[in-house]
Structure 1
Amino acid sequence: MKARFRDLLAAEWIKLWSLRSTPWAFVVGAVAALGVNVNAAFADYRNYPRYPDGIRELFVPIWAMRDAFTLGGAMVFTLATGAIGALVIVGEYGTGQIRTTFAAVPARRAVVAAKALVLAAVMLVYGVLVAGVSFAVTQGVLDGRGAGMAIGDEGAPRAVVASALLAPVCALAGFGLGALLRHTATTIVALAGVLLLLPALMDERDRWGATLLHALPQGAWKRLTEVGVSPVPVDYPWTAGGAWAVYAAWSLGAVAVALFVVHRRDV
């Protein structure tokens, strides 16, 4: 009997949580990212009375939002979610279980689509939880100095949504790389290189460097979490619409790569 797609979704849900590393990866990723952000908020809370008037005038919303979603926290979150996405498919190749899966369900594209949908849904919920907690806790800390933001403030909803969506975007990027490379260590190194190292090498003062950074998830995330008018001029500004398009392109492109390579290659 031909497997129904909802049965494939149920099977992939079970596989995801049957990996012993999955719950730990979720917990460690969330704790690490939140720890970096909350630490930044406490640092500003302690130092706020010593800040000059110029910084205090700009603190809300620019620095308050940066405490909620620090670059360091985003990098940790990127690596954690990308690694989970990679393990969803690489782990099955590593154990050889993928042969059993394709023997039971010869429609490989349907299997990959089910994996991607389950991964994206779980990561969306995970991202919403982590981004929401980070915003609430950091702004609660800063409220002690009268420097916190509310979720309804201008730019805050977009920043929270962008940070939440960073989880499924990076997870799907890891998923696509995992399908392409099929080796855990190689995939994680490639993922870190593309999503973390490459943005660090880009110079935003150079047109080509800025263009490449804008085309990466980290660059899109930075643009979407910017609020207020930065005191530092930007040589090559980027639009929020373009940043959302980058999110979509990476997600859809990664799934397309996974569908193609799994269908074309032998197990």
Structure 2
Amino acid sequence: MSAPNTAPAQQHRHREASVPDSVGLSFPRLVRSEWIKLRSIRSTVWCYAILVLLTIAMAVLLGAVIDQGAGQMPQEAVNGGFVNINTVSVSLTALVVGVLGVLIITGEYGTGQVRSTFTADPGRTGVILAKAFVLALATFVVSVVSTGIGVAVSAGLQASKDIHPEFTDPAVWMPILGASVYVTLVALFAYGIGLLVRSSAGGIAITLGIFLVLPVILSIFAELTQAQWVADVATLLPSAAGAELYAYSYSGARDVTGLVLNGWGGFGVLAVEVVVIGAIAIAVARSRDV
């Protein structure tokens, strides 16, 4: 009798183990390969198109509608209002790039293309980081450009009403830039979730649950129990910590008890969460079969 055939998964694992790491592509070539794949995916075009449309449309709409009253508002209120005009869309665009972050990795698992991807880099870490780099860079650039267009148009609309924010004030331009940093970190967070679960539906559900449902649950629980630690935990959620990145900081002490984050603190918390999720996802991806 002939020996039984080896299972396809075992054959692939043996081939993968027999390929030395030196055969894998260099990181720049991996980045180039992932860039080609990213721009060729239909969901990438749609998600970035929605991001651009929402960012510019919301800034233009609010810039045209909002009238704070020329000479009647203190400069700080004018600055804060302008920041809000150009960052109000972030809560929506973050969800869009969250979906994209999941799809760019789960799509490969769904089609089986991930086998070729990991064969090109047997160690897997390089190609995972290359995909994350391309996703982060593309998301940040698209967000910065669309936000810049929104700022330029909304500034002109507000100037027609004799409302002039102080663009040289870091309290104005840093939150606007922070909005792009936030959506980039959200995309990376979702990418890590997608790499962990390997399912488009599951990854999107978990990501949206963390950013939409979990804050509501903790808020209700904190309100019912009056437990400060619950409110502090809610402050450390990705959506709450990240919101500090694009929030205008008004002068004066805030009458808030418990844990309070500023822009840099929110960035630090969200960045750590992204790194932790990413590290766990990479460890799991390296240890399991495709």
TM over 0.5: yes
For 1:129-159, what per-residue CA distance to the aligned partner results, in whole angstroms no more than 9, with x for missing partners?
1332233332332222222324212401220
For 1:47-99, what per-residue CA distance to the aligned partner results, in whole angstroms no more than 9, with x for missing partners?
x45x9x5xx336312222211211xx111111111111111111100111011
TM (norm. structure 2) is: 0.80
Give the number of the structure whose alpha-carbon radius of gyration is greater: 2
Could you say what secondary structure the match of 1:257 adopts? helix
Relative to structure 1, the CA distance from residue 17 to residue 220 in structure 2 (aligned partners, 3 Å threshold; closer, same or farther) is same
Task: Give the Cα–Cα distance (whole angstroms) in 2 for the partners of residues 134 and 233 of structure 1.
Answer: 33
Question: Does the alignment pair 1:61 with 2:79?
Answer: yes
Contact 2:63 2:158 in 1 (8 A): yes
Q: Which runs of 5+ in 2 are unaligned?
A: 1-22
Question: Does the alignment pair 1:212 with 2:228?
Answer: no
From 231, 238, 242, the counterpart of 2:265: 242
Task: Give the Cα–Cα distance (whole angstroms) in 2 for the partners of residues 130 and 254 of structure 1.
Answer: 28
Where in structure 2 are the equivalents of 1:30-41 lying within 5 Å?
30-41=52-63
For 1:171-194, what per-residue CA distance to the aligned partner results, in whole angstroms no more than 9, with x for missing partners?
101100101111111211111111
Question: Does the alignment pair 1:265 with 2:283?
Answer: no
From 131, 151, 160, the counterpart of 2:167: 151
TM (norm. structure 1) is: 0.86
Task: Give the Cα–Cα distance (whole angstroms) in 2 for the partners of residues 217 and 197 of structure 1.
Answer: 12
Task: Give the Cα–Cα distance (whole angstroms) in 2 for the partners of residues 79 and 122 of structure 1.
Answer: 16
Q: Which runs of 5+ in 1 are unaligned?
A: none
Relative to structure 1, the CA distance from residue 240 to residue 231 in structure 2 (aligned partners, 3 Å threshold; closer, same or farther) is closer
Amino acid at match of 2:243: K
Could you say what secondary structure the match of 2:66 adopts? helix
Task: Give the Cα–Cα distance (whole angstroms) in 2 for the partners of residues 195 and 241 of structure 1.
Answer: 20
Residue aligning to 1:160: 176
Residue aligning to 1:107: 123
Contact 1:202 1:210 in 2 (8 A): yes
Task: Give the Cα–Cα distance (whole angstroms) in 2 for the partners of residues 235 and 39 of structure 1.
Answer: 35
Task: Give the Cα–Cα distance (whole angstroms) in 1 for the partners of residues 80 and 120 of structure 2.
Answer: 53
Relative to structure 1, the CA distance from residue 100 to residue 168 in structure 2 (aligned partners, 3 Å threshold; closer, same or farther) is same
Task: Give the Cα–Cα distance (whole angstroms) in 1 for the partners of residues 213 and 85 of structure 2.
Answer: 22
Task: Give the Cα–Cα distance (whole angstroms) in 1 for the partners of residues 90 and 279 of structure 2.
Answer: 25
Amino acid at match of 1:175: Y
Contact 1:127 1:166 in 2 (8 A): no
Task: Give the Cα–Cα distance (whole angstroms) in 2 for the partners of residues 202 and 148 of structure 1.
Answer: 39
Residue 262 of structure 1 deviates from its aligned partner by 0.9
The number of residues matched between the two structures is: 260
Residue 209 of structure 1 deviates from its aligned partner by 4.3
Residue 231 of structure 1 deviates from its aligned partner by 10
Quote the RMSD (CA, aligned, Å).
2.6
Could you say what secondary structure the match of 1:155 adopts? helix
Percent identity of equivalent pairs: 29
From 203, 224, 227, the counterpart of 1:187: 203
Question: Does the alignment pair 1:256 with 2:279?
Answer: yes
Relative to structure 1, the CA distance from residue 208 to residue 137 in structure 2 (aligned partners, 3 Å threshold; closer, same or farther) is farther
Question: Does the alignment pair 1:44 with 2:66?
Answer: yes
Residue aligning to 1:123: 139
Residue 232 of structure 1 deviates from its aligned partner by 7.8
Could you say what secondary structure the match of 2:185 adopts? helix
Question: Does the alignment pair 1:221 with 2:221?
Answer: no
Amino acid at match of 1:255: G
